[in-house]
Structure 1
Amino acid sequence: MTPNRLRRADISTALVDTEWRFVLGSLRASVAVTSLAEAAEVAARLAPTGEGLTLDLRRDRVALTIQSDGWVTAADVAQAKRIADLVELGSTGRSEQVVELAIDAMDIARVRPFWRAVLAYTDESGAGPEDGVVDPLGQGPSVWFQRMTEPRPQRNRIHFDVAVPHDEAQKRIAAALEAGGTLIDDEAAPAFWVLSDPEGNEACITTWQGRD
């Protein structure tokens, strides 16, 4: 971990008693609004707080993301706390989350250029030939590649990763199981749990925990 980056547990602890959540290397929260005009007012109020902030304005909410250089720093945490003093953060219908697509591949360096091109995506910061690709507009899910040791033609080779706050994971898993899903593997929990739908298509619920 580089000096300006915080450890996952320290980030989460710093957010206790706030509406901010640490999800997949970023701080996330939302502000409920009733119109685009109100959303624009919120954006104008928050714009001077710092460079690490990204805003997604909708007519019913403003989604806030804070991240510096691909991770969260002490300055980002301080910025999040300043923002909490300026606007009312809270729930806008579901918890914060980040969705990733994972593609299983025998030769990542060979298949990665195709996905980068067909999605019109770009490299992650500092990415190598086997790293993920991301939407340059920040609208679509990122795509990463998981190496297979042998072909698996009998099962799906694309699965969803749904990154949620650590205190949301059990609720999300319970909802998936009640909806007909199956818990396939929890050996790596609380970093991730592998679930499947009734036909065997897989999704992982992931958190920051168990990764430091």
Structure 2
Amino acid sequence: MERTLGRQEASEAVQEFGWRFLLGSLRTSVPVGSLARAIGFAADAVAVCGDDADRHLSVDARPDRVVFTLQSLERAAVTTRDVELALLISASADSAGLRAEPEIGTGAPRSVQIVEIAIDALDIAGIRPFWKAVMGYTAESGADGPADPLVDPVGQSPAIWFQQMDSPRPQRNRIHFDISVPHDEAAPRVEAALAAGGRLVSATRAPAFWVLADREGNEACVTTWQGRDN
């Protein structure tokens, strides 16, 4: 029977096969040598997933790599079936002489990540319709409450979520980026940002997230699945 998995269980089930758990999904990036090979391998992955491909798998095929995402669309979460499909795709990659490369230092500029836009607001219900309209976004499946996140219906742009403020805060920016990265790549990403002139605003919630800022105080968070409630 298909079962929804917690963050740690999902991560541990696929990590050794080159997949990473990010924001309720499993992702991997497989380097290839051409767009033709990318399309061919993407087709192989769809074939091994069979009838479950449409309900679990999405693919971004490019000349240098193919990025696979697995998530049960009906549950908006990772399930045991997603893990099974991940292992099937990894086995298909091995057979084709390809390999997922999540680790930094393998020649890839970076591995997988997800970027979200966070907007701090006093009246989330009041501003959410504006952002939904101006961005051409929709609600996530089963989550269309007045304070719920918004997503790009074709998956091209970052999701938007809203953070409740208790009082006005004119002294700092109220829109920031959340960069969700593999848990084993977070520390190097934070170190690189600091070396590039950033500063650490807070690490009290690490490894769930580190709050960083550029020299002018504009903030961004590097986030992982760790340190959160399942």
Q: Which has the higher helix share?
A: 2
Report the residue type matching 1:23 in the other structure. L
CA distance in structure 2 between the aligned counterparts of 1:104 and 1:33, rounded to whole angstroms: 40
Report the residue type matching 2:41 in the other structure. V
CA offsets, 1:140-162, max 9 Å, x none? Answer: 00000001000111210100000
Deviation at 1:4, TM superposition (A): 2.5
Q: Give runs of aligned pairs for residues 5-154 of structure 1, distance below 5 A.
A: 5-48=4-47, 49=49, 50-51=52-53, 52-68=56-72, 69-87=75-93, 88-91=98-101, 92-127=108-143, 128-154=145-171
CA contact (8 A) 1:53 1:67 kept: yes
Deviation at 1:10, TM superposition (A): 0.7
CA contact (8 A) 2:5 2:79 kept: yes
Say which SS state the counterpart of residue 15 (structure 1) adopts: helix
CA offsets, 1:176-202, max 9 Å, x none? Answer: 000011110111111111000010000
CA contact (8 A) 2:147 2:162 kept: yes
**Matched residue pairs, number?**
210
Aligned-pair identity (%): 57
CA distance in structure 2 between the aligned counterparts of 1:116 and 1:211, rounded to whole angstroms: 28
Flag as ranges the 4+ runs of structure 1 deviating above 3 A: none
Say which SS state the counterpart of residue 63 (structure 1) adopts: strand
CA contact (8 A) 1:29 1:89 kept: no
User: TM-score of the superposition, structure 2-length normalised?
Assistant: 0.88
CA offsets, 1:123-143, max 9 Å, x none? Answer: 012211101100011110000
Report the residue type matching 1:93 in the other structure. P
CA contact (8 A) 2:90 2:100 kept: no
RMSD: 1.2
Report the residue type matching 1:81 in the other structure. L
Say which SS state the counterpart of residue 77 (structure 1) adopts: helix
Deviation at 1:93, TM superposition (A): 2.5
